[in-house]
Amino acid sequence: MSHGSILSRSQRAPESGALWPSPDQELLLRAATLRGEPALAAWRAWTSRHDLIESHLDRGSFRLLPLVYKNLVAHGIDEPHLPRLKGIYRYWWCSNQDLLYQAAGLVEHLEATGIRTLVLKGAALSAVHYRDMGVRPMADVDVLVPFEQAHAASASLARIGWRPVKPWLEDEIRYRHSTPIVSRAGKEFDLHWHSLREGMRVDSDDRFWQRSVPLPILHARSRCLGATDALLHAVVHGMRWNEEPAIRWIADAMAILHSGHPIDWEALREEAQARRVQLRLARGLEYLRRAFDAPLPSTAGRLVGAVRPSPIERLEFRYLGARSNPENRKRALQMGPMIALEYLRVSSGRNLPRKITGLPGFLRYRLRGRHEPAVVVVRKVAHLLGLVPRRRGPQRPPIGPPALSSR
């Protein structure tokens, strides 16, 4: 596939900012995911200006080191950093085993009470695509249940001592895609009723469930996304701004593409179109092909050959990129676009009257606990949506005595 076959030069996103790794992070990703001399050259370049001390690395980079270790070992490399890398790999293997044991008990309990489960993200990817429980660090396990069983799942988990971290579960189910659940001992996992925040309709995950495949978790039986849907989930979920660099989406996507499980590119296109994430998926795949030589067949070009992203997709992509600027993240004005875009996702499929009548409830939920007066943010959202015209009154003279001269 030629370098310009997926996106024209004017469509490509810059490899900087909120959605893309830094040059040093890209080097480490290449050392973790490539094969042969390119991987080794990337590792040598990275170690020429970095050490393996966690306090000196961003967390996103540190969490790639177990995968780097396995890739170096697979290449038969013997170098001074291997003992340290092996220790990091063993730490995460042990930590992940503890999480899997915990997840197996929760899945078994939910399935026994008639609630279907589907394991997302790290736990499923480790078992099916990485085929190694130590290379993909996890902070928790994510479990999806059908939307209509979300309340029943929460009630069932409460009977064995697991409760939502946030007390307003009804609003969480109405306006979010997941919520953290915590045990009496302080352990946590994420309960999902939607797989992605980019699909909040009742039927958004129907095709994901239909294409899911069995997944054993120790003694429990669950399901996970098929390879096609796992690829979409990895790219779309990963390509958003996060305080901790979410660069592992690149390693996850490469693991899926290298695992040998077939990708149905037409189904991928249809799913991306249905969820209105074609732009993000297209740019993510193009970046993987260009920077990591991802094994994308020529037929994948049809995925974005006629992409006409919806307005909400373009707005989301612009906003996600803008958040890479620290000054933008500090501005209260940035909250208006974020809230507006979230609500457009939440209210997808509703007619205009229902969108309007549902907005106050969403704002009450979204602004809960903020110090900024709600009326200020409501006004900004209204301006953004064009519901209220901006007024520019005359400049008033300052109140009080003139400032003293510094001389």
Residue 289, domain extent = 9-311
Among 213, 68, 40, which residue's Cα sits nearest to residue 137? 68
DSSP for 73-102 reads: HHTT---TTHHHHHHHHHHHHHHHHHHHHH
Per-residue pLDDT of the chain (407 residues), as tens digits, is 333 333 333 333 444 356 789 899 999 999 999 999 999 999 999 999 888 876 678 888 999 999 999 999 999 988 889 999 999 999 999 999 999 999 999 999 999 999 999 999 999 999 999 999 999 999 999 999 999 999 999 999 999 999 999 888 999 999 999 999 999 888 899 999 999 999 999 999 999 999 999 999 999 999 999 999 999 999 999 987 666 667 999 999 999 999 999 999 999 999 998 999 988 898 899 999 999 999 998 767 666 555 678 788 888 887 776 655 555 544 444 566 778 888 888 888 888 888 888 888 888 888 875 544 555 555 555 555 444 555 554 444 444 444 433 33
Q: Are residues 76 and 157 in the same domain?
A: yes
277 and 198 inside one domain: yes
88 within domain boundaries = yes
Tell me, yes or no, whether 307 and 344 share the same domain.
Answer: no
Does residue 239 sit in the same domain as residue 354? no
Give the model's pLDDT for residue 188: 92
pLDDT at position 167: 85
pLDDT of residue 76: 92
**Quick check: is 2 in a domain?**
no
d(CA 159, CA 163): 9
- DSSP summary character for residue 9: G
259 and 146 co-located in one domain: yes
Say how far apart CA 75 and CA 208 lie, in whole Å: 36
Number of domains in the chain: 2
Domain identity same for 167 and 131: yes
The reported pLDDT for the residue numbered 9 is 35
The C-alpha atoms of residue 403 and residue 383 are separated, in whole angstroms, by: 34
Verify that 172 and 297 share a domain, yes or no. yes
322 falls within a domain: no
